[in-house]
C-alpha cells in the first residue's frame, strides 16, 4: 500500500518552489542582484532549452536569454504573483523574444529578396547541400562582417540595419531619415561591393 504522504509531497514541493521563485523575483525587483543570480542559476537551462526549441540555434538562444534576464532585472518589480508563477512569466517572455528573432530572420530574408541584384547569386545554390553545415554558415557570416567594415559608412549602416538589425527598407529609411529610394540604392551598392569582397573567400 503506497504512502499517501509521498503523493501529497510533490504538489507541496511545487508550491514551495514557486513561492521561492516569486520571492527571488521580488528581491530582484528591489535591486538585489544576488537574487537575480539565483534565478539565473535556477532558470537558465530550461529557458535556454525553450529558446532552442523555437530557434534551433544554441548561440542565438543564448543571445535571447541575455535579453530576457536583462528584462527580468528591469521589470522584476512589475511581477504580480496573483496572475501566475514567476517561472511561467519568464518562460512566456523567453518564447516571445525567440519568436521575435524568427520574425527578424524573415524580415531579413524578405529584404534580401527585394534588394539583392539577381547577379549576386543569393539563391538556393549558395546554400550548403545538406542544409545543416553550421560551420560553413559561421565562416560565411564572419567573412560578411569583415567585408562590411570596409564599406562606406552610409552603405555599411544601411546593411547592418537590414541584416543584423532585422529592419525592412522602409524602417531603415525612417530610422536614417533618408528617402526610401536612397536606402534601396545604398543597399544595392553595398551588396555589389560585398559580392566582390566576399565571393573569393567562400
| Closest C-alpha among 27, 115, 114 to residue 77 | 27
Question: What does the pLDDT read at residue 111?
Answer: 53
* Residue boundaries of the structural domains of the chain: 10-105, 116-201
Q: Which pTM value belongs to this model? A: 0.53
Q: Hey, how many other C-beta atoms are within 10 angstroms of the C-beta on 76?
A: 22
**pLDDT < 50: residue spans in the chain:** 1, 5-7, 115-133, 136-137, 202
**The CA-based dihedral angle spanning residues 63, 106, 71, 84, taken in that order and rounded to the nearest 10 degrees:** -120
Same fold, 10-105 and 116-201: no
Q: CA 29 to CA 162: how far, in whole Å?
A: 35
Q: Which pairs from 164-167 meet CB under 8 Å and 24+ separation?
A: 166/103, 166/104, 166/105, 166/107, 166/108, 167/107, 167/111
What's the pLDDT tens digit per position in 26-45?
999 999 999 999 999 999 99
CATH number of 10-105: 1.10.1740.10
Question: What does the pLDDT read at residue 138?
Answer: 52
Task: Tell me the CATH architecture of domain 116-201.
Answer: Orthogonal Bundle (1.10)
Question: What does the pLDDT read at residue 160?
Answer: 78
Amino acid at each position: 500500500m503506497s504512502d499517501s504522504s509521498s503523493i501529497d509531497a510533490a504538489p507541496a514541493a511545487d508550491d514551495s518552489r514557486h513561492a521561492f521563485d516569486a520571492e527571488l523575483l521580488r528581491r530582484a525587483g528591489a535591486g538585489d542582484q544576488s537574487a537575480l543570480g539565483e534565478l539565473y542559476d535556477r532558470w537558465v537551462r530550461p529557458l535556454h532549452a525553450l529558446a532552442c526549441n523555437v530557434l534551433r540555434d544554441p548561440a542565438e538562444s543564448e543571445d535571447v536569454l541575455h535579453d530576457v534576464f536583462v528584462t527580468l532585472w528591469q521589470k522584476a518589480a512589475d511581477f504580480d504573483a496573483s496572475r501566475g508563477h514567476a517561472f511561467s512569466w519568464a518562460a512566456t517572455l523567453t518564447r516571445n523574444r525567440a519568436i521575435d528573432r524568427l520574425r527578424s530572420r524573415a524580415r531579413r530574408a524578405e529584404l534580401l529578396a527585394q534588394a539583392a541584384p539577381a547577379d549576386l547569386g543569393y539563391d538556393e545554390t549558395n546554400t550548403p547541400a545538406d542544409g545543416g553545415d553550421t560551420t560553413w554558415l559561421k565562416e560565411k557570416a564572419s567573412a560578411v562582417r569583415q567585408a562590411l567594415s570596409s564599406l562606406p559608412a552610409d552603405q555599411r549602416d544601411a546593411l547592418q540595419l537590414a541584416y543584423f538589425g532585422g529592419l525592412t527598407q522602409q524602417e531603415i529609411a525612417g530610422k536614417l531619415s533618408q528617402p526610401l529610394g536612397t536606402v534601396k540604392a545604398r543597399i544595392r551598392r553595398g551588396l555589389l561591393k560585398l559580392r566582390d569582397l566576399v565571393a573569393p573567400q567562400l
